[in-house]
Structures are given as C-alpha cells and as structure tokens.
Amino acid sequence: MQYRPLFQELELVDGPGNVTLQETDQNLFRSLLLNNTPLMDVRAPVEYARGAFPCAANLPLLEDVERQRIGTCYKQEGQDAAIALGHRLVQGEIRQARIERWQAWLAAHPDAWLYCFRGGLRSAIVQQWLAEAGTPCPRVPGGYKAMRQFLVETIEQASHTRPLLVIAGATGCAKTHLLRRLPEGVDLEGHARHRGSAFGALLDGQPSQIDFENALAIDLLRQEHRPGGRLVLEDESHAIGSLSVPFVLYTAMKAAPIALIEEPLDVRADTILNDYIRSNLADFERADPERAFSQFGQYLLGSLDRITRRLGGERHVELRRLMEEALATQERTGDTEAHRCWITRLLQEYYDPMYRHQLAKRLDRVVFRGNGRQFLAWAAETQDCLTA
C-alpha cells in the first residue's frame, strides 16, 4: 500500500483551486445525482460531516482518530514516521474488517460508485482492495471535490440563466404551500429544514451549509428538463435559520419579479395555527410522546423570547402571558383556538409593520397581486412565459 501519496491527499484536504470539469464528467455527475445512485464516501467521518451528497453513505478508509494521528505524526516526526504509522494502523484484521464492511454495503447497493476527496489515492486503494476481494466498484472521477464543484456551478448557472419569480406576502399567506404546488417551485426552506422565521426551527435540525447547497443544486438539476422555464422561489432573507442562501442566487432573487400574495388576517392566523401549533406539536409527539407537550411549550416560548428586543419589553411580556395562557388551555382541554389571540397580535404588531416597510421598497417589481387561489391560476397561465 502506498501510504506516502495517501497521506499527501489527507494533508491537502482543502485542495488546490477549482479544476476544469470535462463534459463527460458533468454528464456522469448529473446521471449519478438525478438517479439517486448510491455513493460510498470513503473520506474520514469529519470530512463527511462537513458536507456530502444526499445518496452518500460514509464508509471511511481511515477513521478520524487514525487520520489525526497520521497528521500529528507527520508534523512531529516527519514523513517516514507518518508512513510507517499509516502502515500499522490499516493492516491485518482492521483492513479485513473494513473490506468486509464495504462488501456488505455494496451487496445491498450493487449499482453504487465510490469516491474520496479528489478521486485520488484513498478511493483508488479502496477500489483496489475491493477488486482483489472480488467486489469491483466504479470510482467517481475527481471525487467529492469535482462533483461538489459541479453542483456549485449548477447554482451559479441557474442564477444567471433561468428567469426567476419570487413569491412574497405577509406572514401566514401560505407562500410555502403555494410554492410546493408548482412544478417549477424550488423550496429553499424545505432544503434548509427551517421555516425562515424566529419560530421556524424544525425538530430534526438543519443540515450543514454544504449539504443545503448540494440538495438545492440537485433540485435545480431536476428543473433542467424544462428548458427556458422559470424557477419560482419564496421571498427569503439571506439567512434561513443558521444557513445562507448562496449569494449568487440571493442576488438574482433581489432583482426578480414578485408575485404578491394577499390574504385576510383571519386566514393568515389559520395558517400559522395549523403550521406552527398543530403540525409542530404532532412532530414533538412523534419524536417523544411522553415529553412532547412540555418540549412544544419550550419551543414556542423560546422562539418568542428570541425576539424580545425587537418586540420591546412590554409587548413581549403581554404576548408571553397570552402564549402561556393558550398553552395552559391546550394542555387542559386539547383546544388550540386560544393560540389565535397571541398569533393575531404578533402578526398585527410585529410581522405586518416590518413586512410593509420591506415591501414599499420593491413595489416596482410586483407583477401579480391577489390571493393564493388567484395566484395558482395566474401561475398556470404564465408558466414558462415570464422573463426576469
């Protein structure tokens, strides 16, 4: 086993600048990603956690501790000592156990491909060991880095070449629900696993920034079968929870035409009640039935507390009192209607003024104005006809 080049690959984990992707490689990457082809990621777990592809499973050649020990040894004792350590760490029963683990996974995923960071020595070694064990597996050319670059370029190209339409509207206008009914819809909040507000955190947490971008890029790839067609996105700030919309896409969204959804206050309160109270409580109940209501209450109160400074002290105290009363009523009777009081006041006194201020700067971009039902009819009529 050639540990010298293997170690060199590990040291340059960030690698040099971008490479020029060949058309054949781009076609392969597109096929692998759109067909949900299983991918065996042989990088260390710490690398995988920073970002991977939706269909990838981490089955590393070197575990984090081994990778770290090789790096430390190299810095303290030099290259030859690091090579010798690498030889001791991956041999005999350890090597055999890893081969058997790879084989078991490949038996369940016979159409899989494997990759390391740059399609270099780690994936070549794994491929060679598997071939010697009678389990051949193709290797992704250029590895993670090349396919990641392909996805970054996909976002850039779509941002520059596809006409965009942004769905805007006051909080509670069911913009996300409308977006998901459109074939050309791209759900940024869905990919970010966050509803994009102080109350927007979901129980399963958010992906890494890279995983968010990779999933978004694959969604954009799926839209390529509609040549020249527009992409419809929900109006978002640059940040969705802890994640950021890619700058090139966010810039394009800020210049795109706007479809403005307008719904009465009672309809908007219904949407918030369904999405943030009933639906969220159901999520907590599925995750932990015994502590669901307590955790749900902590989520609501904590979300409100995060905007204390923006609300102002007196308003925050009053809204918190109404929320606590609604939670007490819900726990006692199961009725969620008491939440409507604080929801309505929060919309009127906090979200609506902020929304009106932001909208005033963008009225010249509005190309549609109406309720959700009217918007869906308009969107069907104008599909693939609107240019940015």
- Report pLDDT digits (tens) over 159-196: 999 999 999 999 999 999 999 999 999 999 999 999 88
pLDDT for the residue numbered 71:
81
7 has pLDDT over 50: no
pLDDT of residue 8: 47
Question: pLDDT tens across 52-68, in order?
Answer: 999 999 999 989 999 88
Higher pLDDT, 267 or 5: 267
**73 belongs to the catalytic site:** no
% the chain with pLDDT above 90: 78
- Could you tell me the pTM of the whole model? 0.88
Q: Which of 55, 73, 116, 137 is catalytic?
A: 116
Quick one: pLDDT band at residue 121, thresholds 50, 70, 90?
A: confident
**pLDDT-wise least confident of 4-13, 99-108, 187-196, 233-242:** 4-13
Position 5 pLDDT exceeds 70:
no
| The pLDDT of residue 385 | 55
Q: Which residues pair with 234 in a beta bridge?
A: 167
Query: Which pLDDT belongs to residue 17?
Result: 52
Q: Could you give the domains of the chain?
A: 3-149 (3.40.250.10), 163-388 (no CATH)
Q: How far apart are the first and last CA of the chain?
A: 55
* Closest to 158 (Cα-Cα) out of 192, 189, 186: 186
Identify the residue with better confidence: 249 or 83: 249
